[in-house]
Structure 1
Amino acid sequence: MANEPKNRSYPQGLDCAGTGAALLLSACSGGDPATEAEASDGSGSAATVTITDNHGEIEVPVNPKTIVALDNTTFETLSEWNIKLAAAPKGVMGSAWPGYTDDTKVADIGNHREPNLEMIVAAQPDLIIGGYRFGDYYDEIKKQNPQAAVIEIAPRPDRDVFTELERQTEILGQIFNREDEAKALNETLDTAIAGAKAAYNGTDTVMAVNTSAGKIGYIAPEVGRSLGPVFPALGWKPALEVEGATDNHQGDDITVEAIADSNPDWIVALDRDAAFAAADREAGSAPATELITKSEALKHVPAVREGHIVVLDPNFYLEEGIQSYTDLFNQLQKAFAA
């Protein structure tokens, strides 16, 4: 099966002649003076920087002392940069970031369904990176934490996810004085997208699915969760297009017969249960590859017959950040090139 384990390696300090970083914020200049406050901490770096988050312009401390992060799409970058957190929602972090979840000094906010927002207040943070699964609590968090800069920088709906992730990375680079590293992450994503696009022959049909609790769901091109945006980015030819498809996190209902009738050359699967240990899988759940290959209805479709099945990294559903997509595009390049 065309399924590769995670093996991340990202270049550092690439020069400013590269592609992909010239988005909404300047990464090569070390910070746009027009966006920085004039205050200084005496070390030559700005004490604050004005960024544009999902709500508008906001002044944010540079290298803040006390940080709370709620947005899963930022955790991998924060972890790579060794950014310490005072509190985080350990209930939605799985085992992807043990440096945070295993640290008893990092207060547990719980999950987005029943968060303990008092843990944020108790931390007295300078910066709160909210949004994503916690978007509904934005106003409440701002009201409870008037001393903090509360920002939301997760990819915005109805915008190109990959441009949005690069924007997010640039903003984090400005806040934490990691602009070179941010630029390198963005360029690496651009390179991975270009490689995966070049490996696709332009004619094979692709079906994206979500598996959870023993069921297979349909992930629609463009609008579907996680894999939807990959279709336009790589120019994939959909095996099936369903009118009225949604971005449901479990995928839209579909029968295996409908998948079989679409006769896909490739099946790319997001296994929502894979982020948890096998022993913790819900009753009736099975790995995505097993669900697909052992289905009687699917055994004759080209994707199954030729072994053209790509299953995303187990932690993809938890992360969905720039590193996850970079890994995915590299994985797709290897699979389609082979």
Structure 2
Amino acid sequence: MKKWRLLTATAALTLMLGACGNDEVEDKSSQDTDSAETGSQAESNGDKAAFPMTVSSLTAESETEDGSKLVFEDVKLEEEPKRIISFDYGFLDTLDALGVEGIVGVAANGGQGNIADHLKEKYAPSDDIKDVGSLKEINLEAVAAAEPDVIFISGRQAAFYEELKEITPNVIFIGSDNTDYIKGVEESVDLAANIFGKQEEAKKLKEDLEAKVNEVKEKAGQYENALVAMYNDKKVSGFDNGEDSRFAYVYNDFGFKPATTDIEASAHGSDFSYESILKVDPEVLLIIDRTDSEVDAIKKDIENDIIKKTKAYQNGKIVYLDGTNWYFSSNGITTEMEKMQEILDELK
């Protein structure tokens, strides 16, 4: 018997939620009345979460790369979780913004994890916080040693779902798909708020998020079109507003008009040459730096003789975006506002 299985009998019951599928997993959204009832039950008690509560996932099931299906079970939560592991950096950001305490494990990856800058120091591995691996390679023994009451995962960790349930049955798959991106962020905020009795904090954060969305939409409306591209190891990928596009929300939720709608759908976009960028000739070119390098380090590759012919370059509208927030920590309430502010600052 594996070492971590010994903890199953003593693990506290928690709840189940669905999440944003990244890279390996395609999420299928579902509406669940149990989830809605749980939220109403908690809210009726003000900021005090009501227990026991049963929470359903926002995404009922996911399909892995090999075609197999994962079904995320409802979980009955007997009491508020006191020991929390979040593998999802965005949800860690949301928990932190709500003032939730009790984080005992994060995917720090030996200090190499792409955690948002404003969280790195606070959630660095210590005697109280275990390093439980990377986003894709989980250290199950470290997870077990942290004795979590609840574990939050997203698409990159979905393959470990059953193994994590051997440590605690309270594994929550958080987030939602790109169909309504901002609504998905708000739903994850509500989920955390209802579990941990943070409804008032959540209300204020969602108001701030809505204001920021309106601000970036107003700015986006000033431009004819835009193109989202991702830079990785001297190559670029392009993203349009298709339902399977990883960054469709930049168009659908942030308000930019797509310079093209003919890009092959993929979580990582499609190979999109510099000649392709010139062909669609966007007024605004948004570059997400997958390598998370200094801007000056990638400008030599991006701002080549081909790109210099584009409207975006000639009008000074190439926007370099932080890879940590945009690629690794999406869906967090603070990081989403930071992402929008980054665009606003660059398009003054």
TM-score of the aligned structures, taking structure 2 as reference length: 0.74
Of residues 46, 57, 67 in structure 1, which corresponds to 2:84?
67
| Residue 145 of structure 1 pairs with residue 167 of structure 2 | yes
Label 1:290 to 1:63 Cα distance change in 2 as closer, same or farther (>3 A).
Answer: farther
Task: State the SS of the aligned residue for 2:82.
Answer: coil
Q: Following superposition of structure 1 onto structure 2, how do residues 118-133 of structure 1 map, counting pairs within 5 Å?
A: 118-133=141-156
- Deviation track 1:240-271 (CA, whole Å, cap 9, x = no partner) reads 232532122xx310110111111110001110
- CA apart distance, 1:297: 0.6
1:181 to 198, 201, 221: 201
- Structure 1 CA distance for aligned equivalents of residues 167 and 150 of structure 2: 10
**Secondary structure in structure 1 of the residue aligned to 2:316:** coil
Contact 1:223 1:246 in 2 (8 A): no
Instruction: Give yes or no for contact 1:169–1:182 (8 Å, CA) kept in 2.
Output: yes
Distance 2:87 2:78 in 1: 18
Q: 1:252 is matched with which residue?
A: 270
Matched, 1:310 2:319: yes
Residue 341 (structure 2) aligns with: 330
Counterpart among 293, 299, 316 of residue 308 in structure 2 = 299
Structure 2: how far apart are the matches of 1:122 and 1:152?
A: 21
Q: Which residue of structure 2 aligns with residue 16 of structure 1?
A: none
Q: Give yes or no for the alignment of 1:107 onto 2:140.
A: no
Q: CA deviation at 1:101?
A: 2.2
Give the drift of 1:305: 0.8
SS at match of 2:230: strand
Distance 1:103 1:223 in 2: 41
Task: Check the 8 A contact 2:278/2:306 in 1, yes or no.
Answer: yes
Greater shift, 322-331 or 304-313, is seen at 322-331
Superposed displacement of residue 57, structure 1: 3.8
- Residue 266 (structure 1) aligns with: 284
Q: By how many angstroms is 1:29 displaced?
A: 7.2
Counterpart pick for 2:257 among 237, 241, 249: 237
Q: CA deviation at 1:272?
A: 1.1
Distance 1:160 1:218, change over 3 A: same
1:227 match: secondary structure? coil
Match of 1:215 in 2: 235
Q: Answer 1 or 2: which has greater helix percent.
A: 2
Q: Which residue of 2 aligns with 1:6?
A: none
Amino acid at match of 1:101: A
Residue 299 of structure 1 deviates from its aligned partner by: 0.5
Q: 1:328 deviation in Å?
A: 2.1
| Match in the other structure for 1:88 | 106
Q: Distance in 2 between matches of 1:75 and 1:154?
A: 12
Q: Which digits, 9 at most, give the CA deviation of each residue in 1:196-245, with x for residues without a partner? A: 11223365121110011122211232446653211012342222232532
Question: 1:26–1:32: 8 Å Cα contact kept in structure 2?
Answer: no
For structure 1, the residue ranges without an aligned partner over 5 or more in a row are 1-23, 37-42, 279-284
Q: Is the Cα–Cα contact under 8 Å of residues 127 and 150 in structure 1 kept in the other structure?
A: yes
Q: CA deviation at 1:78?
A: 2.4
Q: Which runs of 5+ in 2 are unaligned?
A: 1-34, 60-71
CA RMSD of aligned residues (A): 3.0
Question: Does the residue aligned with 2:236 lie in a helix, a strand or coil?
Answer: strand
1:288 Cα deviation (Å)? 4.2
Per mean C-alpha deviation after superposition, the further-off stretch among 223-232 and 313-322 is 223-232
**Retained in 1: the 8 A contact 2:85–2:103?**
yes
The Cα shift of 1:303 comes to: 0.3
For the Cα contact (< 8 Å) 1:212–1:272, is it kept in 2?
Answer: yes
Counterpart Cα distance in 2 of 1:62 and 1:178: 15
Contact in 2 for aligned 1:28/1:179 (Cα 8 Å): no
* Counterpart-to-counterpart distance in 2, 1:25 and 1:67: 23
